[in-house]
Chains A and B, each alone.
Chain A
Amino acid sequence: MADRVLEISNLVAGDLPPVSLCLYVGEIVTLRGPSGIGKSRLLRAIADLEPARSGTIKLRDADLSATPAPKWRDRVRYLAAEPGWWADTPAAHFREISAVRTRLAALLLADDIIDRPVAELSTGERQRLALLRGMEGAPAVLLLDEPTSALDPASSEAVVEMLRGYARRGGAVLLVTHNLQQAQLLGDRHFHLDHAGCFEISRDDMAESSK
């Protein structure tokens, strides 16, 4: 059995049924379900951005409740569908700008983009910059909420490539996406979330349930 990174047991977030789910090193797991069911809420609860009603989450051997919240979120990163920015330029949001500059091209971003005002960037540019920002410092787990929703096919493909590289280097991804093709292409395992619960389903069942 591969190395277990994140272990979620009977987590209850909002009015969702209990969710149990494991992430292993190097894998990308997709999470799909009807709109408004609470997928974002589940990701937020895993990142401890909102309180869970019950259940436990463990990152390797460390229990969420025993880990300081900032440290937990530094290891288990939640990237919102619409990223927020607290300074004028993207550059001010990064820890090591020189390292980021070398990775811009991989996501088809211009060199000077991190010094331009955030307000002038397109939604797609902001989304890709948020991914770079979220991957800084090599977190153990990425919780991604529709990371390619604003991207054209070429940029989407670049993001997919970057996520694959991250998983290969020992990361783990929980990916919420509406895009069935992307889920099939990228996911190693698949989960379906609705009011009945959160279940692992096969690639074919996923295609079936989307019809």
Chain B
Amino acid sequence: MINQFVRLDIFDVGLAAILLLAHGVVSVVYRLGLGRKIVVAGVRMVVQLLLLGLVLQYLFALNAPAWTILLIVIMVVFAGREATARQKYRFTGWWGFVFGTGAMAAASILVTVFALATQFRPDPWYDPRFVIPLLGMVLGNSLNGVSLGMMRLGEAARDMRPAIEARLALGGTRNQAFAPAMRVAMQNGLTPVLNSMSACGIVFIPGMMTGQILAGIDPLQAVLYQLLLMFLIAGATGLGVWLAVRCAVWRLSDPRHRLRLDRLIAH
């Protein structure tokens, strides 16, 4: 069955890349000024994915835990950078990066280990052929939620300042005072994953599933894989958003239960 799939070569892909010209035309016609960005993004994607392919090929052959761990660290750091790069409000110092990266890494690694230990059970358990794709998928998808959750918390802390301080001034603890802000931040962070859970299969066919079906896998097996991944992603996002928002609340307040907006700077 696995032999049925159509092997792609570089020309097939190059042909598809022509479609990117449509972006360029739109950018020129509407003067979006995105021409350069489109080229850069396109080239980045090609280079990054090709590199990843080569690295994975090498790593799978090598099957050495040390190298797998190194790649995991690199993935986590880049995910953290992506999650905290475009924030409207940022924490002073390295805190935002530390929280975003830490929360995402903790949640993703926990969920990946869970999947490895229960569903996949590769031998050896650190087989990079399972670890890297799983972790990559979970990291990449929880990134969005963590990023949104932290951003919304920063905004909420600013917007709700009078309400938060009123609660503190009446003898409330920082957890009580931050509860409404935490609520909107977590709702915001969890919305994308909930949306994609309810929309997938009807509104769009998930990319991973498409890839599997095109590569010749039985559709039902592809669906089961997709479901498993969605649950892993949902779990990691929930955990990651909660952790990141909790840490952010901790940083935006102090042990004397004060609101510390001075630790947040507008970008």
Contact = CB atoms under 8 A, between A and B. Distances in A.
A99 B180 CA distance: 26
B170 A86 contact: no
B267 interface: no
Interface residues of A, number: 24
A78 B255 CA distance: 19
A77 B170 contact: yes
Interface in A76-120: 77-80, 82-87
Contact of A80 (B160, B162, B177): B162
Interface string B129-142: 00000000000000
A44 B47 CA distance: 55
Contact of A69 (B162, B164, B167, B257): B257
A157 interface: no
Interface of A: 47-51, 69-71, 73-75, 77-80, 82-87, 130, 133-134
A110 to B, nearest CB: 22
A93 B230 CA distance: 40
A77 B166 CA distance: 10
Given A84-B161, A86-B164, A69 B256 contact: yes
Among A48, A73, A75, A87, max chain B CB count under 10 A is at A73
Contacts of A50: 258
Nearest to A95: B170
Contacts of A87: 180
Contacts of B169: 47, 49, 73, 77-80, 134
A84 B173 contact: no
Given A49-B259, A80-B162, A86-B166, 6 more contacts: A51-B258, A75-B171, A80-B166, A83-B162, A83-B166, A84-B164
Contacts of B161: 84
Interface in B167-205: 167-173, 177, 180
B165 A80 contact: yes
Nearest to A72: B171
Given A50-B258, A70-B172, A74-B171, A85 B166 contact: yes
Interface in B249-264: 255-259
B62 interface: no
B227 interface: no
Contacts of A74: 170-171
A133 B180 contact: no
22 contacts: A69-B256, A69-B258, A70-B171, A71-B171, A73-B170, A74-B171, A75-B171, A77-B171, A78-B169, A80-B165, A80-B169, A83-B162, A84-B160, A84-B161, A84-B163, A84-B166, A86-B160, A86-B163, A87-B180, A130-B166, A134-B169, A134-B170
Among B166, B168, B255, max chain A CB count under 10 A is at B166
Contact of B167 (A77, A86, A130): A86
A130 B256 CA distance: 23
Nearest to B258: A49
Interface in B145-171: 160-171
Nearest to B171: A74
A91 B257 CA distance: 24
Nearest to A134: B170
A70 B162 contact: no
A206 B233 CA distance: 67
A47 B256 CA distance: 11
B171 A84 contact: no
Given A49-B258, A51-B258, A86-B160, A73 B168 contact: yes
Contact of A86 (B171, B180, B258, B259): B180
Contacts of A75: 171
A49 B180 contact: no
Contacts of B177: 86
A85 B165 CA distance: 9
A83 B163 CA distance: 8
A48 B258 contact: yes
A111 to B, nearest CB: 23
A17 B187 CA distance: 45
Given A51-B258, A69-B257, A69-B258, A82 B170 contact: no
A133 B258 contact: no
